[in-house]
Structure 1
C-alpha cells in the first residue's frame, strides 16, 4: 500500500531511509513509555504517571551524562524514572490511593521537581540555564557496513516495492544509535520475562486475580512494587533518550505528552509487547512524516489510510460478518479518498496534529478487541475475601 501511494502521489519520502530512520528514533521514547505501562498494568497498577516519570528521566539523563558520561546518563535516567515509579507504588500499593489521582500527582511533581533542579544545577553552566542544560554527549551511532551505498542507490531508482524495501532496510541499518538498539532489545526481553518465566506468571497473576495469587503463596505487594519500579525505569529511559539522543540537550517540556501517547500505544497493543511496539512505530512514523515534509507526505498518507479502511471493511464483511461495521468503515474509506482526490496538500495546522489524530483513530478502531488485565486499577488489600 505504501508503494502504491508513493507511485501514485510521487511523495518518495514516505518510504525513504531518512523517514524510516526518523520514525524509529521518534518511536523509541513512545515505545519505552508504553513498555513501562505494560509492566505496571500487567501487575494491576494503572500508571497515568508515565509522563512525569519520563520528565524525571529527561533531566536525570542529562545530568548523569554531564556528570558521569554517556552511559552514566542512561543509567541516571532509568534511576530517575524508577524513583517516580517507587513513589507511585508506595502511594497506590501501600496506602491504597486511587491510581489515577496518584499518576496525575506524579506528572505534576515531575514537572515541578525538574524546574527546580534545572534552576539549581544548570544555571551558570556554559550553555545551560533555568530551562535547559548544556550540550550532552550522546551514545555512538552504528551501521551495518557495506550495504548503505547500494541500498541508497536502489532507493533512488524509485522502483515499485523494491526501492521501498531498500529505503526501509537503509533506515534500520544505517546510523542507528546504540541506545535505540538497547531499547528495541527490551521488547523481546520483556516478552520473555513476562510470558516465559515463573516470575512473569506470578506478576501477571497479580493483575488478573490477586486474591487467587495470594492463596498460592505469591507476595502480591512485592510483585506490584517490582513491576511499578521497572515501569518507572523504562519510562525514565524514554525520557533520557529524548534529552541525550533525540535533541542532545535537556529542555523543559521536551516530552511533549509522549508518556500519554505511550499509554495509548500500550492500549492499542492490547497490553502485549509486540502490539505496543507496532503502535509506537505507527505514532513515530506519522510524527516523522509531518516533521520531514509536512503536508505533501501526509497527503500521500491519506491514500494509504483509505486503502486500509477499505481492506478493514472487506475483512469485517467477509470474515467477521459485521455488516454495520463494514458499512461504517467503507463510508470512512470513501470520505478519506474523497479528501485525498480533491486536495493536493494538507494544511500545516493539520500535519502538526497528525500524531494525536492517529492516536484517536487507532484507539477507536481497536477498541472492540481490547482486553485489559482483569484487576487493573482495582484496589487490593492483603487477606481480602475477593
Structure 2
C-alpha cells in the first residue's frame, strides 16, 4: 500500500493518524498538556531574564548577563547543539546514536585536514560533513542492515574514530609546520560578521547596569556582534530541522520509523532507507560540530578536542524531549554555565547559587500547587542548602568551578526526567518484512 503524498497536511493522512499517533484519545491529550507552545516558551524566557537581572543586582556580578558571557555562551552552545541535533535526527528515525562523539572526532579531523589542504574553511566544512556522514553511514550499516546492538555500535565507532584520527595524523600531519601525531598545522577560520550599529547602540546601555534594560542590551550585543558564518548557519539549523521533521511528508515518514516501523512499512514506507537517511544526517551534523571546534573555537585540530561534547549533546537532546526547541535550550544552558565559569570564575559561579536558590523556591511553590508534597519538601531542602552556601561563602571553590556545566546538566536532567517521552520504537532493532 503506497502513501499519497498529497493527502493530509504533510503527506499521508492515514500515516499521521495510524503511525505517529499511537497518541489518540487520552494519550494525545496527555502529550498535548506536556508540550510547551511558543507563548509559554516566551513567557518562560522572559521570567528567567527578569530573575537573572534581579540576581545580578543583588549579587553585584555583572558578568551574569554581559555581552562577553553571552557571546561565549553562543560559541560554547553550538557544538553541543549540533551534536544534539544529530542525535535528534537519528533517534527520531528509531536509531540510538551513542557514536556522536566519534562522529565529532571524525568531523574535527576531516574538517581540519581539508581546510588545511585547500586553505578554505568552507571546504573544511564540506570535509567535516563528509567525514561525519561516513561515521553515520557505518553506524547505519551496522545497526540497520546487520542488527548490531546500537549502543555497542556507537561505542565502537567512537573508539575507532579516535584511533583512526591518531593514525591519520601521524601519517599526514607529522613533519608539517605545526603538525604532529596529535595535532594539525594551523587551519583557516571563518570570518566574523556583526549587525551594523549594534555594538555602538547597545554598549552604552549595557554599561549603565540598569535593571532588565542593561541585561537585554548585554544579551543582544553578545549575540549580534562578532559572529561567524558557521555560527549563523548552525543556529538556523534548529528551526530548519523542526520544519523538515514536523512540517514535511519526508519528516513525518522519518518520524514514523521511530514510532511504529511495522505500521510504517505496512503503509508502503521504505523503513530502511529512512533510517539510513536519519543516521547519515545525524553523522553529518556531528561532523559539522567538529568543524566548528577546529575553525571557530580554535584554529587547529588537537587530539581530545571534542571533550565529551557528543555525549553532552545527547543529554541536551534528552533534556529537550527529543524536540529541536528544547534541545536548543539544553545546549544553551550548558553553554551559559560554561561561559560563566570561564569568563567570571568562582565569583560569577557563586552568583549562580542565588539564581538556583530562587528557581528551587519556585519549584517548591509549583509542587505545592500540584499537591506533590515529596517534591516540594525535596526542593525546599535543596533551596535552603544552596542559600546557606551562598550566604556563608564569597566564591565557589576552584575545584568545583570547572565542573559547573556538567553538574548543571546532571541536575536538570534529573529534574526533567518525569516529563520525557522518547520515540516509541527508539533503539528497537527492526528487520525488514515485519510489517508484512
TM interval, short-chain normalised: over 0.9
Measure how far apart 1:309 and its partner are.
1.2
Deviations 1:156-191 (A, max 9, x none): 111111111110000000001110000001001100
Q: CA RMSD, aligned part only? A: 1.0
Measure how far apart 1:321 and its partner are.
2.5
* Structure 1 unaligned residues grouped into runs of 5+: none
Which one of the candidate residues 94, 113, 117 is aligned to 2:145? 94
Inter-partner Cα distance in structure 1 for 2:422 and 2:105: 26
8 A contact 2:265–2:435 mirrored in 1:
no
Which one of the candidate residues 269, 272, 275 is aligned to 2:323? 272
Inter-partner Cα distance in structure 2 for 1:55 and 1:24: 21
Which one of the candidate residues 285, 291, 315 is aligned to 2:366? 315
> Secondary structure of 1:114's partner?
helix
> Secondary structure of 1:170's partner?
helix
Aligned to 1:209: 260
Measure how far apart 1:114 and its partner are.
0.4
Compute the TM-score of the two structures, normalised by the length of structure 2.
Answer: 0.87
* Structure 2 unaligned residues grouped into runs of 5+: 1-50
Measure how far apart 1:316 and its partner are.
2.0
Is residue 84 of structure 1 aligned with residue 135 of structure 2? Answer: yes
Measure how far apart 1:335 and its partner are.
1.1
Inter-partner Cα distance in structure 1 for 2:153 and 2:62: 46
Inter-partner Cα distance in structure 1 for 2:206 and 2:246: 39
Which aligned pairs between 1:119-138 and structure 2 lie closer than 5 A? 119-138=170-189
8 A contact 2:266–2:435 mirrored in 1:
no
Q: Which runs of 4+ in 1 moved over 3 A?
A: none
Which one of the candidate residues 277, 284, 305 is aligned to 2:335? 284
Aligned to 1:249: 300
Aligned to 1:196: 247
Compute the TM-score of the two structures, normalised by the length of structure 1.
Answer: 0.98
Aligned to 1:75: 126
Which one of the candidate residues 359, 365, 368 is aligned to 2:415? 365
Q: Which moved more, 1:106-115 or 1:126-135?
A: 126-135
> Secondary structure of 2:162's partner?
helix
Aligned to 1:234: 285
Aligned to 2:115: 65
Inter-partner Cα distance in structure 2 for 1:330 and 1:72: 53
8 A contact 2:263–2:435 mirrored in 1:
no
> Secondary structure of 1:254's partner?
coil
Inter-partner Cα distance in structure 2 for 1:83 and 1:354: 34
Inter-partner Cα distance in structure 1 for 2:198 and 2:69: 18
Is residue 157 of structure 1 aligned with residue 211 of structure 2? Answer: no
Aligned to 1:224: 275
Aligned to 1:143: 194
Q: How many residues align?
A: 385
Aligned to 1:53: 103
Aligned to 1:169: 220
Is residue 258 of structure 1 aligned with residue 324 of structure 2? Answer: no
Measure how far apart 1:384 and its partner are.
2.1
Aligned to 2:5: none
Is residue 375 of structure 1 aligned with residue 429 of structure 2? Answer: no
